[in-house]
Amino acid sequence: MVSLPVISAATAPPGRRLPPWMKRPLPGLADFAHTRRTVAASGVATVCEEARCPNLSECWSKRHATFMILGDRCTRRCHYCAVATAKPNAPEADEPQRLARAIAELELAHVVITAVSRDDLADAGAGHYAECVRAVRAACPRTTIEVLPADFHARRERIARLVDARPDLYNHNLEMVERITPAIRPQGDYRRSLAVLQVVKELDAGILTKSGLMVGLGETWDELRIAFADLRAVGCDVLTLGQYLQPTREGHWPVKRFYTPEEFERLAEEARRLGFLSVAAGPFVRSSYNAAEVFARTRTVLAAKGDGGEGAGAVIQ
């Protein structure tokens, strides 16, 4: 008997009731057990579990999982994130092969590979990350690969190691507007995250870049507009917008407000007008949520623009 996580317990901010649009039924068990067995056998962590993602049941029932390499212990403590902060273990030399086998077993057409911050390593884990991408490419040549790394302190040589492994899309999240970043991401930096995306484009102008923002942390609409413009200024192609949910009562930033589906539509429209190739916006949107569909839409729009077409795609979820 396979038990599904209870979505309401995983996503409801402590002491607050979820609005009606944040509630949805659990999906069926189809393929969920297979995904869980495959993930467990691989020994590779998933951000689905470690970050208490509200979409875990839905995605795993579709055989979709977002793998988190370099362990499940992060060297940074962000006040929105449920991933544990602790002294990490050494990178495991066989992790790239185990990761590749799991992705092949799940028959993923598109995979998102993320990682904890590894400020303890000389290259912040960039070399290991690149080996993971190469192993997946070798084992699953038809799978498109999206990487979602930490900022590598915006060091060009570290970013270059990962870009040189030829991922199909380089994703790095801005996470939130500039004003509130120091309070919630004390070891992160808004401008540094923008610099990461800029360096990727400087290294390879043809690589697609993507970034995500959470809303409901206390930002204003004007601040969001500025963040959209800042991302476009460094050539970011794809934007995701989702509702922040407080993982635990203690130690995590409280939800300041819930955005309605209509507000997400308005934000997406504003972002599209700035020229993003595609925008995914909605209460349950996360960086890797429906990432295959977002990537496919982005490539379709890019191809149309190359043929003289105009406009940007949008996914409202």
Residue 275 covered by a domain: yes
Please tell me the predicted confidence (pLDDT) of residue 266: 97
pLDDT in tens, 238-257: 999 999 999 887 789 999 99
pLDDT in tens, 11-64: 445 556 778 887 766 666 668 888 988 999 999 989 888 788 887 888 888 888
pLDDT in tens, 213-242: 999 999 999 999 999 999 999 999 999 999
Q: Kindly report the CATH number assigned to the domain that includes residue 152.
A: 3.20.20.70
Of the pLDDT bands very low, low, confident and very high (cuts 50, 70, 90), residue 5 is: very low
Residue 6 covered by a domain: no
Question: What is the count of structural domains for the chain?
Answer: 1
Residues 262-276, mean pLDDT to the nearest whole number: 97
DSSP the chain: -PPPP-HHHHHSPTT-PPPGGG--PPP--TTHHHHHHHHHHHT-EEHHHHTT-TTHHHHHTTT---EEES-SEESS--TT--SEESPPPPPPTTHHHHHHHHHHHHT-SEEEEEE---TTSTTTTHHHHHHHHHHHHHH-TT-EEEEE---GGG-HHHHHHHHTT--SEEE---BS-TTTHHHH-TT--HHHHHHHHHHHHHH-TTSEEEEEEEESSS--HHHHHHHHHHHHHTT--EEEEEE---S-SSSSPPP--PPPHHHHHHHHHHHHHTT-SEEEEETT--TTTTHHHHHHHHHHHHHHHHTT----EEEE-
- Note down the domain range covering 96: 29-316
Residue 2 covered by a domain: no
Residues 255-279, mean pLDDT to the nearest whole number: 96
Residue 52 covered by a domain: yes
Residue 10 covered by a domain: no
Residue 282 covered by a domain: yes
